[in-house]
Structure 1
Amino acid sequence: MTDDHKYLESLIQSADIDKTIEVLADTGYDSNNTYIILENKGIKATIAPPKSAKTSYTQPRSDTINYIKEKGYHVERNKNKYGRREIVENTIYRYKSIIGAKLRSRKWDNQDVETLLGCHILNKMTNLGMPQSLKLT
Structure 2
Amino acid sequence: MPYKHNKSRRHKIKKSRYQVTNWHDYNNGLRRRGDFTIWFTEEAIAGWRPIKTGARGRPREYSDIAIETAGFIRQVFHLPLRQTEGFMNSPARVMNAGITIPDFSSIAKRSIVFPRHILSKAKEAGSIVIVDSTGLKVYGKDEWHQEKHNVPARRTWRRLHLVIVENHNVLACELTTPEVGDPTAVPDLLDQIDTPFDIFMGDGAYDGEPVYKAVLAKQSHVHVVVPPPRNAVCSDAGDTQRDQHIQTLAEQGRIAWQRKTGYNFRNYVELAMQRYKRIFGNTMKARALPQQKTEAWCSASALNRMTGLGMPVSIKI
Considering the TM-score relative to the shorter chain, is it more than 0.5? Answer: yes
The answer to which structure has the higher strand fraction is 2
Q: 1:94 to 1:8 in 2, by over 3 A?
A: same
Q: Which residue pairs with 1:6 in the alignment?
A: 184
Amino acid at match of 1:76: W
Gaps in structure 2 of 5+ consecutive residues: 1-178
CA distance in 2, matches of 1:98, 1:47: 29
1:66 aligns with 2:247: yes
Contact 2:199 2:225 in 1 (8 A): yes
In the alignment, what sits opposite 1:33?
A: 210
Question: Does the 8 Å contact 1:99/1:118 carry over to 2?
Answer: no
SS of match in other structure, 1:55: coil
1:124-135 mapped onto 2 (5 Å cutoff): 127=312
Query: Which structure has more RCO (C-alpha within 8 Å, separation ≥ 6)?
Result: 2
Distance apart, 1:5 and its partner CA: 1.3
Name which of 208, 223, 226 aligns with 1:47: 226
Over 3 Å counting, the alpha-carbon distance change for 1:69 and 1:6 in structure 2 is same
Deviation, structure 1 residue 68: 0.6
Q: Does 1:89 align with 2:89?
A: no
Q: Which residue of 2 aligns with 1:135?
A: none
Show CA shifts across 1:30-84 (max 9, x none).
Answer: 0023223323332221111112211125611101111110111110111111111
Residue 116 of structure 1: aligned partner: 301
Q: How does 1:102-113 map to 2 (within 5 A)?
A: 106=291, 112=297
Kept in 2, the 8 Å contact 1:55–1:65? The answer is yes
Q: Distance in 1 between matches of 2:266 and 2:314?
A: 24
One-letter amino acid of the counterpart of residue 44, structure 1: H
RMSD: 3.2
Q: CA deviation at 1:94?
A: 2.2
Distance 1:98 1:123, change over 3 A: farther
Query: Does the CA contact (< 8 Å) of 1:53 and 1:65 recur in 2?
Result: yes
What is the one-letter code of the residue matched to 1:23?
F
Structure 1 segments, 4+ long, off by >4 Å, are 102-114, 122-127
C-alpha distance in 2, partners of 1:98/1:44?
Answer: 33
Q: Looking at CA atoms only, which structure, 1 or 2, has the larger radius of gyration? A: 2
Give how far 1:24 is off: 0.7
TM-score by length of 2: 0.35
Q: How many residues align?
A: 129
Contact 1:95/1:119, CA 8 A, preserved across alignment: no
SS in 2 for 1:115: helix
Tell me by how many angstroms 1:6 deviates: 1.9
Counterpart CA distance in 1 for 2:186 and 2:268 is 21
Gap runs ≥5 in structure 1? 133-137
Structure 2 Cα separation of the partners of residues 98 and 29 of structure 1: 27
Question: Do the aligned partners of 1:68 and 1:76 also contact (CA within 8 Å) in 2?
Answer: yes
Structure 2 letter corresponding to 1:21? D
* CA 1:123–1:65: 2 relative to 1, 3 Å: same
- Return the offset for 1:99: 2.6
Higher helix share: 1
